[in-house]
Amino acid sequence: MSLYAIGDLHLHFKSELKARNQIEDKVWQNHEKVLVDNCKSMITANDTLVLVGDHSWGKNLAECRYDLDYIMNLPGRKILLRGNHDMFWDVKKTGQLNEMFKGKLEFLQNNYFSYEDYALVGTKGYTFEGPFYFDRYGNIQGWDEKEAEHAEKLVKREYERLVSSFEAAKADGYKKFIMFLHYPPTNILQSDSIFTKIAEKYGAEQVIYGHCHGKSRFHDSIIGKKGKVVYSLASGDYLLWKPMVVLKLNLIKKYKKEV
């Protein structure tokens, strides 16, 4: 009954699309098989795995069919978050996806799922990724104002979705939260953001996010403890396709007994 997370599988069993790093970076070679082997050795049917977005390169459900089948066949209960590449997932039709894949996959958006006495809340999130303008010493001198303005609107929308996820859980009596985002909670210029503030406000114990690929991007945002919240990057290439342990139930039970 443990809780695991990983993200950014970027599957493409049916789609022709691939990112450049999926072709050039060794860590992506045969990553589907590496992940399955790791999941089978770690995760049991009673465990829960949260996938933090960018599941598939497919542009629609038909193109994602084999990718979603692959995820369905991983061991344990699977909860999916929406990534920026998940074109198959119309945000207004999350309810329909949950109906369509009932008993097989669960889709986290404007809702929450329970895990023991925790509420698993989340949304895609958004961070402004530039372009940033640098001087010849590599110091940031400015950024694209128009893009920044657009980003602000997207951040506001994602903020509202995240709040509705927390509020739905709170209304059902949950007091303990694990928060999932696809985008990192902060961009490279920020030390906090509206997302870190929500995590603090609701008392989320952990924030788990993906989206950052390649060694040069792994440290774009917070990793480790900040205030009372523990932040973790769960993109698959960062984790070398080994899901991270979010909560181990036997440890929770042991702790409760001791307290």
Binding footprint of Fe ion on the chain (CB under 5 A): 8, 54, 83-84, 211
- Across 151-187, b (16+ Cβ under 10 Å) vs e yields beeebeebbebbbbbbeebeeeebeebbbbbbbbbbb
Q: What angle do CA 24, 26, 31 make, to 5 degrees?
A: 110
Q: Is 65 helix (H, G, I), strand (E, B) or coil?
A: helix
Q: For residues 119 and 181, which CB has a smaller minimum distance to Fe ion in the complex?
A: 181
Q: For residues 83 and 243, which CB has a smaller minimum distance to Fe ion in the complex?
A: 83
Closest residue to Fe ion, Cβ-based? 54
Question: How many Å from the N-terminal Cα to the C-terminal Cα in the chain?
Answer: 21
Select from 78, 55, 59, 76 the least CA-distant residue to 67.
55
Q: Which pair of structure tokens corresponds to residue 96?
A: 């329909």
* Smallest separation, CB 84 to Fe ion (Å): 4
Q: For residues 2 and 15, which CB has a smaller minimum distance to Fe ion in the complex?
A: 15
* Smallest separation, CB 119 to Fe ion (Å): 24
Q: For residues 47 and 63, which CB has a smaller minimum distance to Fe ion in the complex?
A: 63
* Smallest separation, CB 85 to Fe ion (Å): 6
Q: For residues 35 and 119, which CB has a smaller minimum distance to Fe ion in the complex?
A: 35
Are the beta carbons of 210 and 182 closer than 8 angstroms? yes
* Smallest separation, CB 65 to Fe ion (Å): 20
* Smallest separation, CB 44 to Fe ion (Å): 27
